[in-house]
Amino acid sequence: MTSTTAIVTGAGQGFGLALTTALAARGGTVVVCARDARRLHAATAGLPGVLALPGDVTDAGFRAELVAAAGERLDLLVHNAGELGPSPLPGLARYPLDALRGVLETTVLAPLALTQLALPLLRAAGGTVVALSSDAAVEAYEGWGGYGAAKAALDQIVAVLGVEEPVVRAYAFDPGDMRTAMHQRAFPGEDISDRPDPATVVPAFLRLLDERPTRGRYRASDLAPAGTAP
């Protein structure tokens, strides 16, 4: 069986780390990145086949480094890195535009640029692109206008990619609420211990990879095995 290679962005903690751990257990090579070098190396130390590259996906040179690290084959590209924006979440009437530019740069432009670089390898492998989405991309929640707009744009990019690149599977994956540092920043001072651990959502993501359904947007709750909750 041919060994697989994946790139996962934003893998230093949360869902990105949980997914990296699961992919590493399956074998192959997993190239991962995050901005915090110390956290990334500590989190991924000892995981077989994981190559940790600290860096920022908004940097063009670093994006090229990520793709180069994949070598001659790339089966999976996961856009997990994102930017919440200001915390507490501001309403659109007073949303700082510079902050919104940062959200869009990390959540929309960087994933598109990285995909553009990776497409030759993905085409050759008949690979898969998955972008982490959010219900804020399709629902109107007070305070979530900036983040939600960015995720909606990313969803649309992935949808169009799936039409334009017929040999590449392209999905938006909505994991639902999770107990992550970003989610905590969205609700400062609140107890989010009732949210699911990211590791419990990973099986739904793996099912998406294994079953390779028609391109589109999928929720973890729709992919979870019967009788389980993501």
| C-alpha pair distances (Å), 39 with each of 53, 55, 87 | 11, 12, 22
The single residue of 95, 147, 171, 218 carrying the catalytic annotation is 147
**b (16+ CB within 10 A) / e for 37-61:** eeebeebbeebebbbbbbbbbbeee
What is the percent of the chain where pLDDT is above 90?
84
pLDDT (tens digit per residue) in 153-177? 999 999 999 999 999 999 999 998 8
pLDDT (tens digit per residue) in 202-222? 999 999 999 999 999 999 988
Comparing 16-25, 59-68, 151-160, 217-226, which segment has the lowest mean pLDDT? 217-226
Question: CA-CA distance, 197 to 144, in Å (whole number)?
Answer: 22
- Coil/strand/helix, residue 15: helix
Tell me the whole-structure pTM to 2 decimals. Answer: 0.93
Structure tokens given for 9: 């962005």
pLDDT (tens digit per residue) in 88-132? 999 999 999 999 999 999 999 999 999 999 999 999 999 999 999
Q: Is 95 a catalytic residue?
A: no
| C-alpha pair distances (Å), 115 with each of 67, 70, 74, 98, 202 | 9, 13, 11, 25, 22
Residues pairing with 217 in the sheet: 172
Largest CA distance in the chain: 55
Residue 167: the pLDDT is: 97
Interior angle at CA 103, CA 136 and CA 144, nearest 5:
30
Question: CA-CA distance, 36 to 17, in Å (whole number)?
Answer: 13
Side-chain-side CA neighbours of 218 within 13 Å: the count stands at: 24
Scan for tokens 């991962």, then name that residue: 32
Structure tokens given for 61: 């040179």
Q: What's the distance, Cα to Cα, between the start and end of the chain in Å? A: 30
